[in-house]
Amino acid sequence: MPKYTLNVNGEPKAVDVDADTPLLWVLRDTIGLVGTKYGCGMSLCGACTVHINGQAIRACGTPVSAVGSGKVVTIEGLAKNGELTPLQKAWCDHDVAQCGYCQSGQIMSATALLASNPKPTDADIDAAMAGNICRCATYPRIRLAIHSAAEGKKGVE
Amino acid sequence: MKTTITEKQPLVARRSFIKVTALAGGGFMLGSYFGIGEQSAVAQTTMPATMPTTQSARNAAGDFAPSAFIRISPSGVVTIISKNPEIGQGIKTSLPMIIAEEMEVPWESVIVEQAPLNGAFTGQVAGGSTAIPSNYGRMRRLGATARTMLITAAAQTWNVPAEECIAEDGVVVHTTSGTRATYGELAAKAATLPVPDEKSVTLKEPKDFKILGKRIGGVDNIKIATGAALFGIDQQVPDLLYATYTKCPVFGGKVSSANVDAIKKMRGVRDAFVLEGGNGLGAGVAIVADSTWSAFKAQQKLQITWDNGDKATHSTASYTEQAEAFAKASPQKEVAKVGDVDAAFASAAKTAEGMYFYPHLSHATLEPQNCTAQFKDGAMHIWAPSQNPGSAQDVVVKALNIPKDKISIDMTRIGGGFGRRLMHDFVVEAAAIAQKLNGPPVKLTWTREQDMRHDYYRVGGWHKLKGAVDESGKVVAWSNHFITFGENSIDRAGNGANVGADEFPNRFIPNYNLGQSIISSHVPLGFWRAPGSCAYAWTFQSFIDELAHAAGKDPLEFRLTLLGEDREVPGSGGRGRPYSATRAKGVLKLAADKSGWGKTLPRGQGQGIAFHFSHQGYVAVVADVTVSKEGELKVNRLTAGVDVGPIINLSGAENQVHGSMIDGYSAALLQEITVAGGQVEQGNFHNYPLLRMPDSPAVDAHYIETAKEPTGLGEPALPPTAPAICNAIFAATGKRIRSLPLSKQDLTWS
Ligand code: FES
Ligand code: FES
C-alpha cells in the first residue's frame, strides 16, 4: 500500500493506506483523531470539515493522495496548550451544542470564515455556513457565537 | 382435566434502594442498589475510590454492584453520575443539576459522569420527554439525602444539634459557633451513617433554588468544542475491527446468495459472511475489515441475490391509491363517537371539508447508526448510542440467545436521537457479528444511505376532515376519517400511527367522530420526535383554521372560544389525560402577545397560530411569514409560548424549543420518504434535505411556569410549528396547504 506523510495539527503522521482513502477515515481510523465526523460521505453535510492550508474542506471527499504536504488542521488542533480559541469559547459561552455531533464541522467552517472575514454580516455567515447541516437545528446560537467571537465579546446568553 | 401446579415463589420483589458506601481513603458514595426486598442488612462494603466505569467491571463486583449517583472524595470533589442517555436533549446536565441543587454544592465544582446500563438506576431511557417528570422528585430526594447525611456527620462530629447546622456551597456550617467543615472532610464520617428514609428528608423551597431555573451550559461543552466528546461512532478499543452489514433494500427480504468468497480476498477485508437473521436480527451480509473505508469499499463490490419476498410491489403510488379508495368508503373502525355528527352537519350554519396528507419521514440523525461490540468468553460487551439500552439488552438476549447477565452496555454520547435509537436493529447486528467473530471487538458503521433506507419511519397518513360551525361561530361538529398504516397488518396501526380517542379537539366539540382505516405496508414504523402529534397536530390545527375562516373569526379568538372556560377537562371514560383549557389558552395568549398577533399586514405577509398539548406540555406557536408572488416562502420568525411547569435549565429549555420549532419547519418544508419497488427511494441529504443556516428563521421562546412538577421539553414545541407556518401561508396568500412537504406545493399568488 502507498505510504503518505501527512502534516496534521503541526505534526508529521506517516500512514499506510490506499490512495483513494478519504482523509476523513485516515484521520479517524488510522491516526485516531475522531473529532472529525462522518455524516454523509458525499460532501453534503459538513460534519467532516477540516482545514487544509487554512481552507475549510470536506475530509470525506478528499482522498489522502490529494493532501500532499498541505497543512491539515482538525478540531483537535485548534486549541493550543489547552487554551480554547475565542470562537470555541463563544461556542461554550452560548451553549450552542445540542447533540454536538455536527459541531466540530461547524466550528471548523466558522474558524475559516473568521480568518478571512473578521467581522462577518449575517449574510456572510449564511454563505459560509450553508454547507454545515445541524440536525438539532442549533443555527440561531451558531450565528450568535460567531458574532460574539467576531466582536471579541464574551457570551451574554 | 389437567392441573398445572406452579411451584410457589417467595413473594419478594426486586427493587432498587438507596445505600451509602465508604470509599477507600475516606470517600462517600450514595447509590441505588438492586436487591431482593428490604436489604438494609447488607453489609457495608468498601469500594475502591475510583469506581469501575465499565459495566463488566461492575458485574464482577457482584449482584449488589452499586450504581452510584453521588461520590464525594476526601479532597471534596463531588461527582454526580448521569444515568440517562444523552441525545442532545441536555439530560446529562439537567438531572445532575437537580441533585446538586438539593445537595447544596456549587455547580462549578461538580464533575458529571455518564453511567453505563445498570438496572439499579431504573428508567435509563431517552424517550417521550419523560426523564424530567419521572426523575425530578427522585433526584431531589437523592440530593437532599446526601445533604442530610453530611449535616448529620457534622453535627455528630461537633456534638451539636443537627438543627443548628446548615449546608451551603459544599460546606456544613454550625450557625451558632461558625464552625465549618467541607463535604470532603465530612465524607468519611457521613459514609458510616444510616441512610435516612428518602421520603423523610427535607426538600428545598423552590424560592431558594440557586441552580434550577438558571442558564446552565452543557457539561460536555468544552469536550464538544475541542472534538473530545466521544459519540458511539468514535469508540476506540484496542485491536478494533470495522464492519458493514448489508440488508435487503426491500424490507424483510432475505439473502439467496452473495459473493462473500470474492469479498474475503479484497485487501483489508478480514472476513465476510451471511447471517440468516431471525428473532429480531435482519438477514444480511457482514463484512469485517481493518478500517471503515476498507469495509465500505468492499461493500460496494458486494453482489447479492436477494429474495425480496412478496413486498417488492409496494410503492407510495399504490399506498395513495388505496388511501383514495378508503376515503370514498366509511372507516373500517370507529375510534371515538360523541353526539351525532350527521345531524349536526345537516343543520349547521357553515361547514368545511378537506383531505389532508403528510408523508413518511426519516429520522436522519446526523450520527449514522453504529455500534461497537465484543463477544469474549461467553460475555457480550456493547458500546452503544442507544436511547434505551435496557431494551437493547433485551433484544440481544432474544436474537442471540445470550443470558442477560452476560450482556453489558456502555452508554455513549449520542449524535441525535429523535426516536430512532429506541429501536436496536444496529445493536443486534453489531452483537451478531461480534458473536460470530468470537473474540475481537468490532465496530459496525452504517453508511448514510443505509441509515436512510433502513429506518423505522415516521408514518405518513391521510385525514378526511369535515367540520361545522353554528351561527355564533362555535364548532358544533367534527368528523375525521383517518387513513393510516399497519406494519404488515390491516388490523393494527403501526408505531406512532394512531390518533387517541381523546385527542384534541375531542372533549371540546359536542358532536365528534373519529374513524380509522389501515393500509398494510412492510415499511418499518417507529417513533419520531413527538410521535403521532408531530403529524396530526398539523392536520387538526390547520383544519381549525379552515373552520375559523368559514366562521369569519380571528384564528386566535376562534381557538380561545373552542377551548372555552378556564378548567381542566378530564380524560373520557377514565382513560386518557386531563386537558387543561387554562394552560392551553395561557400559551396561546402568551405567544400571541409576544409575537404582536393581529398586525395588519400587506398581502404576501401573514401570521399564523397553532397550539398543541403533548408529552404533558402545552405549546403555542405564532409564525410570521413572507411569500413572494413567485411562491418563495420565507419564515421570518417563530414565537413559542410554552407551559411545561417550572423550567429546570433555561439555556437547555431554549435549545429544545428553538430546535423543535426549526426541526418542525425543516420537516414540513423539505422532507418526504417515498417507496418504489418496495424500497425507500431517498438515500442522502441531496434527496432528503435538512434545513440549513440561510433558511433558519429567527426564533424565540417564552414560558408560563405553572406551579406544577416540571415536565419534559424535548418534543412538545415541535407539533404546533408546522400548522402555525401553514396557517400563516394562508393568511399571506389565501392558499390552504393540505399536503406536505411544502417544497412540493405551489405557493404562487397574484
Ligand atoms: S461527511 Fe463529509 S460532508 Fe458529510
Ligand atoms: S448539535 Fe446535533 S447535529 Fe448539530
Q: Indicate the Cα dihedral angle A115, A116, A117, A122, nearest 10°.
A: -90
CB count in 10 Å sphere of residue A53: 12
Judge if B237-309+369-445 and B316-361+457-566+578-744 fold alike in CATH terms.
yes
Euclidean distance between CA atoms B387 and B532, whole angstroms: 19
Amino acid B573: pLDDT: 66
Q: Between chain A and chain B, how many beta carbons pairs sit less than 8 Å apart?
A: 192
Q: Please state whether beta strands B110-114 and B78-82 pair in parallel, antiparallel, or not at all (unpaired).
A: parallel
Euclidean distance between CA atoms B588 and B504, whole angstroms: 15
Residue B32 has pLDDT above 90, yes or no: no
Amino acid B52: pLDDT: 39
CB contact under 8 A, B686 and A42: yes
Q: Which of the two residues, B97 and B14, has the higher pLDDT score?
A: B97
Amino acid B744: pLDDT: 98
C-alpha distance across the termini of chain A, in Å: 51
Q: B17-212 has which fold? A: Aldehyde Oxidoreductase; domain 4 (3.30.365)
Residues 6+ apart with CB under 8 A from B573: none
> B680 pLDDT band (50/70/90 cuts)?
very high
Helices (H), B234-388: 260-264, 292-300, 316-328, 341-347
Q: How many domains does chain A have?
A: 2
Of B656, B638, B639, the closest CA to residue B647 belongs to B656
Q: Does one domain contain both A97 and A66?
A: no
Find the residue in A nearest to B686 (Cα).
A44
**What is the CA A96 to chain-centroid distance, rounded?**
15
Residues in chain B within 8 Å Cβ distance of A135: 364-366, 416, 418, 663, 690
Nearest-CB residue to A45 (from B242, B685, B698) = B685
Over chain B, what is the mean pLDDT? 92
Amino acid B43: pLDDT: 32
Residues in chain B within 8 Å Cβ distance of A1: 267
Q: Does one domain contain both A73 and A90?
A: no
Amino acid A5: pLDDT: 97
- Which CATH number covers residue A139? 1.10.150.120
Average pLDDT over residues B476-485: 98
Residue B54 has pLDDT above 50, yes or no: no
> Does A135 fall in a domain?
yes
Q: Does one domain contain both A115 and A58?
A: no
B316-361+457-566+578-744: in CATH 2.60.120.260:
no
**Which of A:41-100 have CB within 8 Å of B?**
41-42, 44-45, 47, 74-76, 78-79, 84, 88-89, 91-93, 95, 97-100
Of B445, B361, B469, the closest CA to residue B722 belongs to B361
Euclidean distance between CA atoms B136 and B713, whole angstroms: 14
Euclidean distance between CA atoms B739 and B548, whole angstroms: 19
Chosen domain end from A58, A77, A96: A77
Euclidean distance between CA atoms B106 and B109, whole angstroms: 6
Average pLDDT over residues B629-655: 98
Average pLDDT over residues B173-202: 94
Q: What percent of chain B has pLDDT over 90?
A: 87
The phi, psi pair for A127, rounded to 5°, reads -65, -45
Chosen domain end from A25, A52, A77: A77
- Which CATH number covers residue A57? 3.10.20.30
CB contact under 8 A, B367 and A39: yes
Q: Which of the two residues, B113 and B14, has the higher pLDDT score?
A: B113
Domain extent, residue A112, equals 86-151
Residues 6+ apart with CB under 8 A from B230: A34, B412, B413
Q: For residue B187, give Cα distances in angstroms to A79, B55, B97, B256.
A: 37, 25, 20, 63
Amino acid A57: pLDDT: 98
Chosen domain end from A55, A77, A99: A77
- Output the nine-digit C-alpha cell for B468: 361545522
| pLDDT 10s digits, B147-163 | 999 999 999 999 999 99
> Does A156 fall in a domain?
no
> B218 pLDDT band (50/70/90 cuts)?
very high
Residue B199 has pLDDT above 90, yes or no: no
Q: What is the SS3 assignment for B626?
A: strand
Amino acid B129: pLDDT: 83
Asked if the C-beta of A141 comes within 8 angstroms of chain B's C-beta atoms, the answer is yes
User: Could you tell me which residues are beta bridge partners of residue B518?
Assistant: B484
Amino acid A48: pLDDT: 98
The phi, psi pair for A129, rounded to 5°, reads -100, 0
| pLDDT 10s digits, B658-670 | 999 999 999 999 9
Average pLDDT over residues B288-316: 97
Amino acid A153: pLDDT: 63
Q: Does one domain contain both A97 and A118?
A: yes
Q: Please state whether beta strands B617-627 and B605-614 pair in parallel, antiparallel, or not at all (unpaired).
A: antiparallel
| pLDDT 10s digits, A66-102 | 999 999 999 999 999 999 999 999 999 999 999 999 9
Average pLDDT over residues B568-594: 90
Q: Residue B533 Cα, ligand 2 centroid: separation in angstroms?
A: 23
Q: Does one domain contain both A8 and A65?
A: yes
Q: Does one domain contain both A73 and A24?
A: yes
Euclidean distance between CA atoms B97 and B102, whole angstroms: 9
> Does A157 fall in a domain?
no
> Does A72 fall in a domain?
yes
The complex's ipTM works out to 0.97
Amino acid B15: pLDDT: 57
Sign of the four-CA dihedral B110, B113, B114, B119: negative
Residues in chain A within 8 Å Cβ distance of B296: 41
Euclidean distance between CA atoms B162 and B164, whole angstroms: 5
Amino acid B17: pLDDT: 76
pTM for this model (two decimals): 0.94
Residue B5 has pLDDT above 60, yes or no: no
User: Could you tell me which residues are beta bridge partners of residue A57?
Assistant: A50
Euclidean distance between CA atoms B51 and B150, whole angstroms: 21
Of B207, B154, B191, B198, the closest CA to residue B176 belongs to B154
Residue B56 has pLDDT above 60, yes or no: no
> B16 pLDDT band (50/70/90 cuts)?
low
Average pLDDT over residues B92-112: 96
- Output the nine-digit C-alpha cell for A50: 477540516
Residues in chain B: 750
Amino acid B45: pLDDT: 38
Domain ranges of chain B: 17-212, 237-309+369-445, 316-361+457-566+578-744
Find the residue in A nearest to B289 (Cα).
A29
CA angle B21, B25, B26 (to 5 degrees): 55
CB-facing half-sphere around the CA of A39: CA atoms within 13 A:
33
Euclidean distance between CA atoms B153 and A67, whole angstroms: 62
Any atom of ligand 2 within 6 Å of the Cβ of A139: no
User: Which CATH architecture does the domain made up of B237-309+369-445 adopt?
Assistant: 2-Layer Sandwich (3.30)
Residues in chain B within 8 Å Cβ distance of A20: 297
- Cell 435482519 -> residue: B282
| pLDDT 10s digits, B414-469 | 999 999 999 999 999 999 999 999 999 999 999 999 999 999 999 999 999 999 99
Instruction: Provide the shortest C-alpha distance from residue B666 to chain A (in Å).
Output: 9
| pLDDT 10s digits, B182-191 | 999 999 999 9
Q: Does one domain contain both A13 and A64?
A: yes
Residue B11 has pLDDT above 50, yes or no: no
The pocket around ligand 1, CB under 6 angstroms, is made up of A 38-41, 43-48, 58, 60
| pLDDT 10s digits, B132-150 | 888 999 999 999 999 999 9
CB B361 within 8 A of CB B667: yes
Amino acid B583: pLDDT: 98
Asked if the C-beta of A101 comes within 8 angstroms of chain B's C-beta atoms, the answer is yes
User: Could you tell me which residues are beta bridge partners of residue B349?
Assistant: none
Residues in chain A: 157
Residue B55 has pLDDT above 50, yes or no: no
Average pLDDT over residues B317-340: 97
- Output the nine-digit C-alpha cell for B65: 454492584
Euclidean distance between CA atoms B379 and B490, whole angstroms: 41
**What is the CA B343 to chain-centroid distance, rounded?**
42
The identity of residue B630, as a single letter, is E
DSSP result, B501-529? TT-TTTTSSSEEEEEEEEEEE-S-B---S
Q: Does one domain contain both A13 and A65?
A: yes
Euclidean distance between CA atoms B499 and B338, whole angstroms: 16
Q: What is the SS3 assignment for B218?
A: coil
Euclidean distance between CA atoms B265 and B569, whole angstroms: 68
